[in-house]
Chains A and B, each alone.
Chain A
């Protein structure tokens, strides 16, 4: 039998901001309800639920997936939570895809939620416990430091100027000014603003980094025969890929994300894409730091190694460019509630490909988009290719 086609038919998302009033399950339900309403379905139509959230430490709840199950529509239904660290947001739709492609279900709800604000004084501390308890934790590493190592390696290897990397942050934050759910959209930000911002761990400065926030995003996925009945504008999940590299990140050359390359190749093969640079109209690489968008574009084979920054210099990456990058505003602009941020990229491709992205709509009726997320110890790549 041929592969069963799976479509996204509805999407919803909450504003990304500090959400002190809502519990994680309430945030999940807010996004789930919007996604259901967008395609005029109710929970009665949903056969199974897939849920994504990053470390339990943020919510401070053991088995956070079980705790959030009612809010995300898992009550009385087959329900599972998948987990690949920061890559989770782009993995949950993959989980939804295999639920339907397996033939077991026709309509599946996909929800990703993250609430980082309860972690006091700062959610960075939750990341202290992601490191190896014997070899790394005694050194008290911090995510900003290890990404500073990676950024430095990337800049040094290719001789890239910080001024050019800052262009990424500027473009994404400017794009986010058009996103109604964005936390840090800024239409007037300049490269100078980024370069003048506080240094956190050289070469990482405050405006090189995406803001922490709370939020949730949800999608409704359907098998082809259902999708065609429910909507005139299904957006197909054409390719999926994910790869996890070795735990020992200190033994790897951090200059190039091979795991993103392998995940992308897996997705391109499935989608039948031979020349991604010609066939992909919109790219949503994971951008928790500005250099990461460049790093990932290279892993996704959308730029030569060390050359991704040229897409920003020559205008290709702009919203009206040849291959817009993060027209949503990305994590740098919309915000980075970990798992929800990844699914935000998928939701935005859904809106872009349907021509429903409002002020951030990419011109030229885009046909294919790719979204990617990254996580764990600079270790996992998750990729979804969508088309109409």
Chain B
């Protein structure tokens, strides 16, 4: 068994709302080439196994895992797909290495959202075909219902949710990978069109195309390969009920469980004090506040006030989404967890450039698979 696992190489491609010049295979290839060069490994010789994350309906191809190996150097190698978020893929690579049978494993996640004409109709096909689909529930409508319940039970205000957008899109101004950087005010956000009240259109992240590849290695190999390995201290993932009728709407019990699992492995008892920064789910603005509470960084209903007080700003007590998050960078569908991990890894390597946070040692990453799922994952990373 290998006890320790580290990220030794990261690579990305795309990160634009539209990439008509590149196919998803080319995006994946670009990210893979960068990651392997960063790690100093040859995928044909050195990488023992590959993990990709994808969903058929999003790709428009059944059995999409057929189409992954060639462009990431994985043909005729050990490859499998997880139909999960990039963080589920990261957790899988982490487990593979810990078995002791694999020393180096690559993980890939991507989005070619610009190829999808009717994303909302596709996500609506994830609803229960018997009980929910006949109701023709729009995906954003379900998010709006969740936001409403969250605001009602937690006492969080519309202004506090809008504050998440202001912060993240301002943070994105310093991130060259971000597509939705903007200097906006609370009024700009609140005056925007409503999508599914209380959810506003400007509080919803927009999709981008992009791919992220990461190379993970066992402790021993990581120290040989990298001067700045990013250690995975813990991973956790969990599901709540898939049915809309029997789930918790105000809180996120699956994120609570996933976080506790990751904290247990990492030996973290007081996340607010022991962790330096976080890259968390902000698919919708309210999700950032709801997630921070589920991650036990503050009590239920407290995140909004902390945000308004500047605690989550890049120079605040606990920087959150200093990269710009999904609201600032754009949403990479199931590649999102790896996008957040990429940002956290760059921070921990001191390579985040203009949005580098000073003196960081431990970072937290969390993601959610989107409406209508109750599926999320968490990772704790350290330099």
Contacts and interface: CB of A to CB of B under 8 A. Distances in A.
A67 B55 contact: no
Given A55-B56, A101-B99, A375-B63, A61 B126 contact: yes
A102 interface: yes
A62 B125 contact: yes
Given A56-B56, A61-B125, A102-B96, A83 B65 contact: yes
B62 A56 contact: yes
Interface in B49-85: 55-58, 60-63, 65-70, 74-84
A273 to B, nearest CB: 15
A244 B237 contact: no
Contact of A247 (B66, B126, B237): B66
A292 B268 CA distance: 51
Nearest to A85: B63
A74 B241 CA distance: 8
A345 interface: no
Contacts of A1: 1, 3, 100
Contacts of A379: 66
Nearest to A2: B1
Contact of A63 (B63, B83, B130, B253): B83
A33 interface: no
Nearest to B128: A67
A258 B76 CA distance: 8
Interface centre among B68, B77, B239, B369 (most CB of A within 10 A): B239
Contacts of B237: 78-80
B318 interface: no
Contacts of A4: 1, 99
Given A63-B55, A243-B78, A80 B92 contact: yes
Given A103-B1, A244-B76, A67 B126 contact: yes
B239 A76 contact: yes
Contacts of A79: 237-239, 375
Contacts of A164: none
A291 interface: no
Contacts of B242: 66-70, 75
Given A56-B55, A102-B99, A246-B75, 13 more contacts: A61-B129, A66-B242, A68-B242, A75-B241, A78-B239, A80-B91, A81-B82, A83-B82, A98-B92, A102-B1, A102-B94, A242-B79, A244-B78
Interface centre among B70, B81, B99, B128 (most CB of A within 10 A): B99
Nearest to A137: B61
B257 A62 contact: no
Interface centre among A4, A55, A63, A64 (most CB of B within 10 A): A63
Contacts of B69: 244-247
Interface residues on B, range: 35 or more
A216 B88 CA distance: 24
Interface string A219-249: 0000000000000000000000111111110
A41 interface: no
Contacts of B369: 63, 66
Interface in B97-114: 98-101
Given A80-B88, A244-B75, A65 B1 contact: no
A244 B80 contact: yes
A199 interface: no
Contacts of B88: 80
B78 A242 contact: yes
A57 B258 CA distance: 30
B196 interface: no
A270 B236 CA distance: 28
Given A56-B57, A62-B123, A82 B239 contact: no
A195 interface: no
A310 to B, nearest CB: 28
Interface in A353-377: 375-377
A244 B77 contact: yes
A58 to B, nearest CB: 9
A250 interface: no
Nearest to A375: B63
Contacts of A263: 78
23 contacts: A56-B55, A56-B57, A59-B129, A60-B125, A62-B57, A63-B126, A64-B83, A75-B239, A77-B239, A78-B236, A82-B81, A82-B82, A98-B96, A103-B1, A103-B98, A129-B62, A242-B78, A245-B76, A247-B69, A266-B78, A270-B101, A376-B66, A380-B65
Contacts of B78: 241-244, 263, 266
Interface in A89-134: 91, 95, 97-99, 101-104, 126-127, 129-130, 132-133
A20 interface: no
Interface in B304-349: none
A247 B68 CA distance: 8
B26 interface: no
A76 B240 contact: yes
Interface string B119-133: 000110110111000
Nearest to B79: A244
Nearest to A75: B241
A54 to B, nearest CB: 7
Interface string B32-59: 0000000000000000000000011110
B75 A62 contact: no
B243 interface: yes
Contacts of B65: 83-85, 244, 376, 380
A147 interface: no
A85 to B, nearest CB: 4
B172 interface: no
A270 B237 CA distance: 28
A127 B62 CA distance: 7
Interface centre among A3, A246, A376 (most CB of B within 10 A): A376
B129 A60 contact: yes
Given A63-B373, A98-B96, A83 B239 contact: no
Nearest to B124: A62
B95 interface: yes
A67 B122 CA distance: 14
B77 A243 contact: yes
Contacts of B99: 3-4, 97-98, 101-102
Contacts of B123: 62
A192 to B, nearest CB: 36
Contacts of A126: 62
A296 to B, nearest CB: 16
Nearest to A382: B80
* List of 4 A-B pairs having minimum Cβ-Cβ separation, nearest first: A102-B95, A102-B98, A62-B125, A1-B1
Contact of B70 (A80, A99, A246): A246
Given A4-B1, A247-B69, A266-B78, A78 B62 contact: no
A264 to B, nearest CB: 12
Contacts of B94: 102
A132 to B, nearest CB: 8
